[in-house]
Structure 1
């Protein structure tokens, strides 16, 4: 009898939409953040009725992630403090949930939301 002692190769593929959703959820915990800045949908997204996760760009090289996020802040929010908190929250959430190293998180303030109170 031959004994099969071959190793099983394992792999995990994570869709960028999943990473973007983790980023979006982690940003929701930061005080003063209204949301992710919207982006224009591509014709393909319109045709396939795909949802856009907003202005989030993800780069992945050798299990090291770099993220760029466009955000909208609530009126009266300190932009520097909010950006720093976003960077910390996103890095922590992605590293905890996915085990990927986050090299950098770039935050661009794209707008300010004025409430209609």
Structure 2
């Protein structure tokens, strides 16, 4: 897979800043997993294989599409049983949008979430 890198800032004589899609995905993944009710991220959005990802693999479960100065994100999560899916996904969208915008300076146009499962294990 070819690594996508985008220019996000050019400041005259100081230089240019480039950011990789993988970096944006990691920021989004970490933000999503900090939300109460999110058990984890899922590794394969398109396929039937559902792989719960640890912190080291968060970027693999997120699709990043950068257009000029905006970014759209698709991610899949596992929600804890008993949590409101509507509230958890809303919180994930807000947290991911805020984290990506704050850290990259890009405008997040959309955060699309697929709830890939519910964790029913008693802890």
Band of TM-score, shorter chain: 0.7 to 0.9
Query: Number of aligned pairs?
Result: 102
2:76 corresponds to which of 64, 70, 81: 70
The answer to which of 93-102 and 17-26 deviates more is 17-26
Given that residues 77 and 114 in structure 2 are in contact (C-alpha distance below 8 angstroms), is that contact kept between their aligned partners in structure 1?
A: yes
CA displacement 1:20-79 (0-9 Å, x = unmatched): 111111112211001111229xxxxxxxxxx56332101000010000111111111111
Identify the residue that residue 11 of structure 1 maps to in structure 2.
Answer: 16
More strand by share: 2
SS at match of 2:15: coil
Identify the residue that residue 87 of structure 2 maps to in structure 1.
Answer: 81
Identify the residue that residue 36 of structure 2 maps to in structure 1.
Answer: 31
Is 1:103 matched with 2:109? yes
Distance 1:94 1:25, change over 3 A: same
Is 1:21 matched with 2:26? yes
SS at match of 1:53: helix
| Residue segments in structure 2 that go unaligned for 5+ positions in a row | 1-11, 46-56
Higher Cα radius of gyration: 1
Given that residues 39 and 52 in structure 1 are in contact (C-alpha distance below 8 angstroms), is that contact kept between their aligned partners in structure 2?
A: no
Distance 1:53 1:91 in 2: 16
- TM value normalised by structure 1: 0.77
- TM value normalised by structure 2: 0.74
